[in-house]
Amino acid sequence: MHMTFATQIQLNPYPWFLDLELVRSLRYQIQLPTSARTIRKMAEAINHQEVHDLLVKVAQKSGDMIANAQPHVNTTGSKKNSADLVTETDKAVEKYVIGALKERFPDFEFLGEETYVPGMKLTDKPTFICDPIDGTTNFVHAFPNVCISLALCVYKSPVVGVVYNPYTTHMYSAIKNQGSFLTMPVRTDNPHSPTVPIAPRKIRLPRKSYPEPLTGLQNALVAIEWGSDRSGRNFDIKHRTFTKLAGSTENGGAMVHSLRSMGSAALNFCHVAAGQLDIYWEGGCWAWDVAAGWLILTEAGGIVVDGNPGGWTPAVDGRRYLAVRAAPSGQKELVEEFWNCIDGNMDYSA
């Protein structure tokens, strides 16, 4: 009969820690936390470039799986409701990613969308974070704004990030303190390569070497997402805020240039990093949606603050985000102007 730790202690007539056989058996019953010293050693031993190169290869292979799949709307499963979709490709890609990363880094933790179970937390230990298909709704409709998002976090902060759209073959990547880049296909007029009219080019982000100052919401292109929760307090806050952002100044609105809802949090972060969007407001997504894009944005000079007013230092797994592009001036002022448009505080603690 198998006995629990507590039962075995009660049956022992002397201190349990003197029973070597019991101590040996407990190692299989108790998962001890990784010590701070061990985590520090693991972090110091990481070769960020090696991890980056591995994530790029894994993203490309995963991208082939995504691009070659044939999803169908009518055979797609759902998690919470008809807007929260999952496909067999999501699961297959994450299974491949876990195998590829664990083979090289077996001691690192893994946090993925399709293998997540309630209660799992991001810890200080080196952790790979994966969204196998960010933009699943786009994927099942063959709308080509889809990506795989891969990041390595240490001490709950991203240090390597890769976001790859297999349909456009745009690869966004970053290593902490080394900048962020977009590798994309461009037409080449190289007379020495007449048979290769298109070749990949690596471009430092943001796309503009000298970004313009941010001059307020009236001059901003803003990304928002509806999310899969379409009722309740958080949805009401979003709906009211969207209306205020788009509304005319005569009616108390911000009259932004326009709102964009493109279905991928990771790619939204990357578009802000590239300077193609000025700001992105999000509530309800998860660490796997934003970890890689967060690093790509901040390495490009952008900032991430809380999606609720007043929070200047949000957590990667905080589920509320406001991302702002790089600019020589105006970031803080734009954040505060945006916060003034938010009608209430979103709460995703449940």
DSSP structure string for 2-53: ---HHHHHHH-SS-GGG-HHHHHHHTTT--PPPPHHHHHHHHHH--HHHHHH
With CA atoms as reference, report the closest residue to 93 among 120, 117, 115: 115
Scanning 86-164, the segments in alpha helix (DSSP H) are 88-104, 136-140
Is 64 one of the annotated active-site residues of the chain?
A: no
Classify strands 198-204 and 85-86 as parallel, antiparallel or unpaired.
unpaired
Q: Which of 129, 133, 148, 303 is catalytic?
A: 133
Q: Which of 134, 225, 282, 306 is catalytic?
A: 134
Structure token digits, residue 190: 């190289």
Side-chain-side CA neighbours of residue 66 (13 Å): 35
Q: Which of 124, 289, 299, 306 is catalytic?
A: 289
Is 131 one of the annotated active-site residues of the chain?
A: yes
* Residue 262 phi, psi (nearest 5): -110, 0
Q: Which of 90, 94, 113, 114 is catalytic?
A: 113
Is 113 one of the annotated active-site residues of the chain?
A: yes
> CA-CA distance, 227 to 234, in Å (whole number)?
10
Is 136 one of the annotated active-site residues of the chain?
A: yes
Q: Which of 131, 225, 278, 299 is catalytic?
A: 131
Q: Which of 89, 127, 136, 241 is catalytic?
A: 136
Catalytic residues: 113, 131, 133-134, 136, 289
